[in-house]
Amino acid sequence: MLNQIKGLHHVTSMAANARVNNQFFTDILGLRRVKKTVNFDSPDVYHLYYGDEVGTPGSVMTYFPFPHIARGRFGTGEVGTTVFSVPKSSLPFWAARLQEKGVQGIEPGTSFGAPRLSFKGPDGESFALLEVENDARPGWSGNGISEDHAIRGFHSVSLRLKDSGATAELLRFMGYEQQDKAGAVSRLIVPGDAATVIDLETLPGVDHGRQGAGSVHHVAFAVDNRETQLAVRKALMDTGYHVTPVIDRDYFWAIYFRTPGGVLFEIATNEPGFERDEPRAELGQGLKLPQQHKHLRPILEQHLEKID
């Protein structure tokens, strides 16, 4: 069993409109945009990163806004709900705020006993805010949400699966243990400081999703550094997984593999981080391009929609 994985690193989804996406995560949810770059494999599309002040692993929601792509058909074989941690007693504030901003699908509830507020993103994707006691992570208050209410980062993601057996086995191999179970949902947790929870929803009668706007493209797990990433890669390959070579994503190194339930997993390093090419005070402001696409700057600056 592995012991290098520290919880979630980031969640990456697809959107239909960059400006709407940017406005939702910065103005409404109050996250900080910590990087404005492009999809390294398709540089005519933005890659937008939102998180806490510095984009600490475990706080980072990222998007590829493909202009005008069709909405995904949500189903199994993908991430269902992405859940952010908020301070205790902050949900009434959030319910009023989301209502006032016209957010769709607002629904109060509970998750394993904790108060939870579900809502939809601009492309119909499922989010929730969960009140978590003693989450010591600082929230970002630079976008008008006070420290008493600000999102701390991820609490968890849920994976929607036709059959969760093989994925649960993989997660146990990755260091997770079952913590609880309620109906069709199993809660797994890995030792770590935050963003340590994965919920597995078993939905045998639900068809596989079809990716599009609002779909989560992949979920990334955090390791400290490149050395531990290589150890995880080797262990996964020894177990029979087809894992990509290490890919330089400028702000972290990444490896990817498809899991038995259909969800694409990434293992990403906590180094070097988003301050690599911008000072902390200016994170997310300039258009940052990886070395291989630097020559495209004049074209991309013309072509990419202005988002703020």
Q: Is 61 in the site for Zn ion (CB under 5 A)?
A: no
* Stretch in the footprint of Zn ion (CB under 5 A) among 142-150, 198-206, 233-241, 262-270: 262-270
Q: How far is the CB of 159 from Zn ion (least distance, A)?
A: 16
What is the DSSP-derived secondary structure letter of residue 208? Answer: B
The residue within the footprint of Zn ion, chosen from 38, 130, 266, 304 (CB under 5 A), is: 266
d(CA 116, CA 130): 4
**What radius of gyration, in Å, describes the C-alpha atoms of the chain?**
18
d(CA 268, CA 255): 7
* Stretch in the footprint of Zn ion (CB under 5 A) among 30-38, 70-78, 218-226, 288-296: 218-226
From start to end of the chain, where are the E strands?
Answer: 8-15, 32-39, 42-51, 60-65, 78-86, 107-111, 114-120, 126-131, 153-161, 177-182, 185-189, 197-202, 216-223, 247-248, 252-258, 264-272
Q: Which is closer to Zn ion, CB of 123 or CB of 266?
A: 266
**Residue found under tokens 């988002």:** 307
Q: Which is closer to Zn ion, CB of 98 or CB of 174?
A: 174
Q: How far is the CB of 266 from Zn ion (least distance, A)?
A: 5
Q: How far is the CB of 222 from Zn ion (least distance, A)?
A: 11
Q: Is 12 in the site for Zn ion (CB under 5 A)?
A: yes
Q: How far is the CB of 10 from Zn ion (least distance, A)?
A: 6
Nearest to 11 by CA among 306, 207, 218, 178: 218
Please say whether the beta carbons of 2 and 174 come within 8 A: yes
Q: How far is the CB of 43 from Zn ion (least distance, A)?
A: 16
Q: How far is the CB of 145 from Zn ion (least distance, A)?
A: 25
* Stretch in the footprint of Zn ion (CB under 5 A) among 10-18, 80-88, 101-109, 172-180: 10-18
**Residue found under tokens 């913590």:** 179
Where do runs of H (alpha helix) occur along the chain? 18-23, 91-100, 165-173, 226-238, 297-303
Half-sphere exposure of 134 (CA within 13 A, CB side): 1
**Residue found under tokens 């079809």:** 210
Nearest to 157 by CA among 125, 127, 190: 127
Contacts with Zn ion by CB under 5 A: the residue count is 3
Q: Which is closer to Zn ion, CB of 45 or CB of 132?
A: 45
Scan residues 173-212 and list those touching Zn ion (CB under 5 A).
Answer: none
What is the DSSP-derived secondary structure letter of residue 220? Answer: E
Q: Is 60 in the site for Zn ion (CB under 5 A)?
A: no
Q: Which is closer to Zn ion, CB of 220 or CB of 263?
A: 220
Nearest to 150 by CA among 52, 237, 63: 52
Q: How far is the CB of 4 from Zn ion (least distance, A)?
A: 17
Q: Is 123 in the site for Zn ion (CB under 5 A)?
A: no
* Stretch in the footprint of Zn ion (CB under 5 A) among 33-41, 200-208, 213-221, 299-307: 213-221
Q: Is 220 in the site for Zn ion (CB under 5 A)?
A: yes
* Stretch in the footprint of Zn ion (CB under 5 A) among 4-12, 35-43, 154-162, 188-196: 4-12
Binding site for Zn ion (CB under 5 A): 12, 220, 266
